[in-house]
Structures are given as structure tokens and as C-alpha cells.
A and B are shown apart, each in its own frame.
Chain A
Amino acid sequence: ILNVEQSPQSLHVQEGDSTNFTCSFPSSNFYALHWYRWETAKSPEALFVMTLNGDEKKKGQISATLNTKEGYSYLYIKGSQPEDSATYLCASPTGSARQLTFGSGTQLTVLP
């Protein structure tokens, strides 16, 4: 993996469903993995910063796990609500200046 990649690109679920999506990142020289939540017509907001292999973070019904050895992170949403509809971005510092490189995002739509 040379870039930060996310899948799926978009996802539609029913209210109450649990869902998850994936972020893949370069595992060599790993530094940190960020998750952001980006609602339409707003700006991205930080959810989690994860640095340790096996790390698990939780915020309300949203949680994330991290595997730095294989270069992936999962974001889980338990019991999705329409207000969870947003684009979820992950990012990891890459390049010589370690600037955050963002994935293209997973656009989640929770249908009432």
C-alpha cells in the first residue's frame, strides 16, 4: 500500500443497522492514523488519532481499531442513526514532511 485507501466508497444502511468500513495505509514507517467525520456543507471534524498497534478508540456508538503491522484500520458504527450520515475520512502522515495524506472517504447514508 503506497497511499491511504478507503473502502467502500459509499454505503447505504437502514437506521439501527451496525456498519463498518476500512482504511488501508502504508505500514512501513507508521506514525499515526486519523479518522475524521465530514458532514455535508461543513468541515471535517476529528474523531480519533491512533498510534499503537491494537489500539481501540470509542466515542459514543463509533469505535475504531488499528493494525499497524498489516496497515489497516476499521471504523465501526453501532446502531446507525440518520445523523451519522457523513463522509468518514482516514488520514496518515506520509512523505518526507509527514504531512497528513487523506483517503477519499467512505460516504455513509443512514436511511430512516
Chain B
Amino acid sequence: DAGVIQSPRHEVTEMGQEVTLRCKPISGHNSLFWYRQTMMRGLELLIYFNNNVPIDDSGMPEDRFSAKMPNASFSTLKIQPSEPRDSAVYFCASSFGTSSDTQYFGPGTRLTVL
């Protein structure tokens, strides 16, 4: 298995632009997570899907952030409009069962908003 796949690996954009991050979880995994890593706050959970349904989005910073999981093999995290404070590494992770099972992380997308 290729593991969790994320794209792009790096994204540089200007303030105000729309950014879409993509994730393909490990085949057969039922749960998918989006995390953001910053120096100030460490690794924070943004949103968690189980069987393609958002279960907990309390970590989503504000309305500029949205996430979708149209099917079991694909999820997107969208930021519109982007701001410099959104600059961070965004990780996607998946797990076989519930949120308490071992999570397998993708390589991350490093986002820089100028």
C-alpha cells in the first residue's frame, strides 16, 4: 500500500487566493483526519470524518476553512480566502476503525501564504 497520499507537497500562494489540499487515505480505512502543525500550537485536529461523514469539525478555525469527503478514497481541505496566518504544514491521516485507532499520517502539505 502506498500509504496516505497528500497533494500538493508544497503550496505557495498569495493572500486572498483559494487553496485546496487533497488527501487519499489508505484503502480500507474508515476514518480520515485533517491536522495542522504550527510552531505555536503544535499538532491540532481540524476535522475528523468517519465513513465519509464529518464527525467533529470543532477544530476548524473559521468559515474560511471547509473540508469534504465525497467518497472513501478522497478528501479535500479548502481555504478561501487564504491569509498569511494560515501558513503551516497540513497533515492528513487515516485509521482503520474509530478515531481512537492507530492513525497513519501522510507526508503533509507545507502551505505558505504570502
* A residues adjacent to B (C-beta < 8 A): 31-32, 34, 42-46, 49, 89, 93, 95-102, 104-105
B61 within 8 A of A: no
Choose from A32, A97, A105 the contact partner of B56 (Cβ within 8 Å).
Answer: A97
11 chain-A/chain-B pairs, Cβ below 8 angstroms: A34-B102, A42-B107, A43-B106, A44-B43, A44-B91, A44-B105, A46-B103, A49-B101, A97-B55, A99-B45, A99-B56
Interface residues on B, range: 10 to 19
Give chain A residues whose Cβ lies under 8 Å from the Cβ of B100: 31-32, 93, 98, 100
Contact B91 A43 (CB under 8 A): yes
Give chain A residues whose Cβ lies under 8 Å from the Cβ of B56: 95-97, 99
Q: Nearest Cβ distance between residue A11 and chain B, in whole angstroms?
A: 17
Contact B102 A49 (CB under 8 A): yes
Give chain A residues whose Cβ lies under 8 Å from the Cβ of B108: 43
Q: A99–B48 Cα gap in the complex (Å)?
A: 8
Q: Nearest Cβ distance between residue B42 and chain A, in whole angstroms?
A: 5
B74 within 8 A of A: no
